[in-house]
Amino acid sequence: MQQHGGGDASQRIARISAHLNPNKSQMEGSPSLERSTCRAKGGSPGFKVAILGAAGGIGQPLSMLMKMNPLVSVLHLYDVRGFLGPQQLENALTGMDLVIIPAGVPRKPGMTRDDLFNINAGIVKTLCEGIAKCCPKAIVNVISNPVNSTVPIAAEVFKKAGTYDPRRLLGVTMLDVVRANTFVAEILGHDPREVDVPVVGGHAGVTILPLLSQIKPPCSFTSEEIAHLTSRIQNGGTEVVEAKAGAGSATLSMAYAAVKFADACLRGLRGDADDHIFLQVTELPFFASKVRLGRNGVEEIYPLGPVNEFERAGLEKAKKELAASIEKGISFANK
C-alpha cells in the first residue's frame, strides 16, 4: 500500500518494507547489529538493507533470501529476540537504502488482523521513529499487520518528523498477488509465473480486491468460479492461520512475496529504466494499486482500469473498511 497524493482517508494504499542485520557477528555470538562490510557480488556497490523482526517466522527466510540477492551489499538483521534490541536500533538503521519490517505478532485462529493492532501498532511506530531519525530517505516496506493501519501509522510518524515521502513508504500486499496468481493458474492449468492477476485495495478480508476481469493472459470464469476465487484470495491468510492451528500465520510464502517486492524496489533504485514493475500500492489516502518503481520509490501509480459490476460493488466495500482502518492508524499515531 502506498499513499496517493492528496485524496481523502478512504483513498490510501500502503507499501511495506523490512529491516535486516545479518552480520557474521550474529553467527559468532557477538552483538548482533554491527555494521556489515560485505560487498555486493560482481563488484557492484549494491544497496544497504535492514530487516526489522529478522528472527521471526518471516524474518528468518526473508533474511536468507535477501542475503542471496546480488543487489544487496550490506544486510542488517534486527530483532528484540535473541539480540540486543532497542539500544542497537540506530546502528541497524543508519545509512540503509531499504528497510523491511516484519516485526510484530502474528494471528491465531479466530483472530482478525485488526486484533493485532494493539501490539503491532506500537512496534511499528517505534521502529519508524528510528527510521525517521537514522535513514529518512530509505524505502520502507511494511509487512506487520494490520497493514491497512500500520502503513498510515508509519506515514504519520514520518510526517511528524518532517521526513514523509509517500513515494518511499510501501505496504506489502504482494502475498495477495502471489496467492491470486497461484489459485487462478491452478484452475487454468498454467504456470503461476505466467499469470498476472491485479489485486488492489488493502490487505484484510474484503479490502483484498482481485480484479479477475483483468487477468493476463485473458480468460473467463463463470460467476460461481469468480465468487469462489474472490473469496479464496480474500481468505487465503485465514486459511493458513487455521491450518497452522496456533503456530502463527504464513511465513515462507510471505518471505517469498517480500523478497519479490524488495527486489523490485532495489531494481527501481538502481534505475532499471526498462523494468516496469507493477506492484501493490493504494488509491484512498492509501490504496494498493499497480505502480512503477524507480530511483525515488513509486514513480507512477497506474489507474485501476475497467472494473465490472461485481468488482465495483467489491470496491465500495473495500474502500469503506479500508477508510476505517486508515483512520484508526492515524488516530493511534497522533494520540
Ligand X SMILES: NC(=O)C1=CN([C@@H]2O[C@H](COP(=O)(O)OP(=O)(O)OC[C@H]3O[C@@H](n4cnc5c(N)ncnc54)[C@H](O)[C@@H]3O)[C@@H](O)[C@H]2O)C=CC1
Ligand Y SMILES: O=C([O-])CC(=O)C(=O)O
Distance CA 302, CA 290 (A): 6
CA-based max dimension of the chain? 59
Contact of 334 with 153, CB cutoff 8 Å: no
Known binder of ligand: residue 35? no
203 is catalytic: yes
CB of 113 to ligand Y, least distance (A): 5
| 250 binding ligand Y? (CB under 6 A) | yes
Question: Segment near ligand Y (CB under 6 A), from 26-34, 126-134, 192-200, 237-245?
Answer: 237-245
| 148 binding ligand Y? (CB under 6 A) | no
Residue 35, judged by CB atoms within 10 A of its CB (0-12, 13-18, 19+), counts as middle
Judged by beta carbon distances under 5 to 8 A according to partner kind, the member of ligand Y, ligand X, none in contact with residue 55 is: ligand X
Judged by beta carbon distances under 5 to 8 A according to partner kind, the member of ligand Y, ligand X, none in contact with residue 284 is: none
Distances 165 to 154, 160, 206, 296 between C-alpha atoms, Å: 11, 12, 28, 9
- Give residues in contact with ligand X (CB under 6 A): 52-53, 55-59, 78-81, 102-107, 116, 120, 123, 126-127, 143-145, 147, 172, 175, 203, 248-251, 254
Helix/strand/coil for 85: helix
Count CB atoms within 10 A of the CB of residue 219: 12
| 237 binding ligand Y? (CB under 6 A) | yes
Output b/e per residue, 59-77; b: 16+ Cβ within 10 A: bbbbbebbbebebbbbbbb
- C-beta of 149 vs 238, nearer to ligand Y: 238
Contacting ligand Y (CB under 6 A), which of 91, 249, 289, 325?
249
Dihedral of the alpha carbons of 36, 258, 6, 161, in degrees to the nearest 10: -30
CB of 257 to ligand X, least distance (A): 7
Judged by beta carbon distances under 5 to 8 A according to partner kind, the member of ligand X, ligand Y, none in contact with residue 240 is: ligand Y
| 240 binding ligand Y? (CB under 6 A) | yes
The contacts of residue 255 (CB under 8 Å, 6+ apart) are 58, 60, 61, 62, 65
| 180 binding ligand Y? (CB under 6 A) | no
C-alpha angle 187/14/46, rounded to 5°? 90
| 15 binding ligand Y? (CB under 6 A) | no
| 319 binding ligand Y? (CB under 6 A) | no
The residues assigned a catalytic role are: 203
Binding positions for ligand Y, rule: CB under 6 A: 106-107, 113, 145, 175, 203, 237-238, 240-241, 249-250
